[in-house]
Amino acid sequence: MRTNKNDSKMLNTSSLDSWLIYPKPNPDAQIRLFCFPYAGGSANIFRRWSNYLPSIIEVCAIELPGRGMRIKLPPFTQLEPLVTELASVLKSKLDKPFAFFGHSMGALVSFELALLLRKQYDLNPSHLFVSAHRAPQLVDPKPPIHNLPEAEFIAELRRLNGTPQTLLENEEMMQFFLPILRADFAVLETYVYTQQAPLNSPITAFGGLEDQEVSYDEIQAWQEQTSASFSLHMFPGDHFFLHLFYSSMLEIISQQIIV
């Protein structure tokens, strides 16, 4: 969905093909916060987050294939293989307490990853933060858009108000970004929920009061996915409220995961 003109800027990373970007590496941190971007987004979304978090929390931003330093790699088009690969990649980084944050597509990815880590490795995030996405057990009432003809797909991007106008008006750049956006929407729109036992990780959900894509009730329904505590925080703004209110969100995140 929203793309960032600074996505291609290099952040601190251990290798050119790394799934993980560390805006402020902190090996002495007590907990790792893995952050999952929205459709079309990159790890660069989270580049400032370390500045608003206590030093005991290390931000580990997920860089999906097809963006950032991994721009030449083909993006995933289905959730299951993406989550399977993520579980394999992240396992070695889960040697200390960890939490997940995901916005929009990232919320769904982080949730399914939490389920897979529980199943495969008996590992659970200390907290799951989900933002701007309906609870996974709810079916999206809107028809899929990832396979629409180009003109119609771009019209939907305009309606969603997540892609900068300057990018939409740049035909050359749009030809570059369209396959990534289509792939990310395919990840979302081909997802099929399979009922499993609720997570025993607490869940905190965030929503936008003017979000036309996800309603309050759809976010509240995340409560069904945890046997632990649940809280919901709503902010002014549309689907991309996190860009304006991330400092307030990070204050809540800090309070929830520091015990």
List the chain domain ranges: 20-257
Please determine, looking at this structure, whether the domain spanning 20-257 carries the CATH number 3.40.50.1820: yes
Q: What is the pLDDT of residue 162?
A: 64
DSSP element (H, E) containing 142? none
| Torsion angle of the four alpha carbons 10, 79, 27, 48, in this order, in degrees rounded to the nearest 10 | 50
Average pLDDT over residues 31-52: 95
The identity of residue 250, as a single letter, is L
Q: Per 3-state DSSP, what percentage of the chain is helix, strand, and coil (rounded to 5)? A: 40, 15, 45
Q: Which residues face 129 on adjacent strands?
A: 101, 204
Does residue 10 carry a pLDDT above 50? no
Beta bridge partners of 27: none
Strand 20-21 with 57-62, pairing:
antiparallel
Judge whether residue 13 has pLDDT over 60: no
Provide the edge-to-edge strand list for the sheet that holds 127-131. Answer: 20-21, 57-62, 31-36, 98-103, 127-131, 203-208, 230-235
Distance, in Å, from the CA atom of 140 to the CA atom of 207, rounded to the nearest integer, reads 16
Segment 100-114 mean pLDDT = 98
Residues 6+ apart with CB under 8 A from 143: none
As to burial, measured by CB atoms within 10 angstroms (0-12 exposed, 13-18 middle, 19+ buried), residue 66 is buried
Q: What is the mean pLDDT of residues 204-231?
A: 97
8: pLDDT strictly greater than 80: no
Q: Whole-prediction pTM value? A: 0.90
Among residues 42, 50, 104, 201, which one is catalytic? 104
pLDDT surpasses 80 at 159? no
| Statement: residue 206 has pLDDT above 90 | yes
CB 209 within 8 A of CB 234: yes
H or E element: which one contains 234?
strand 230-235
Residue 253 has pLDDT above 80, yes or no: yes
127 pLDDT more than 90: yes
Is it the case that residue 55 has pLDDT exceeding 50? yes
Of the candidates 176, 178, 171, the one whose C-alpha atom is nearest the C-alpha of residue 150 is 178
8 in active site? no
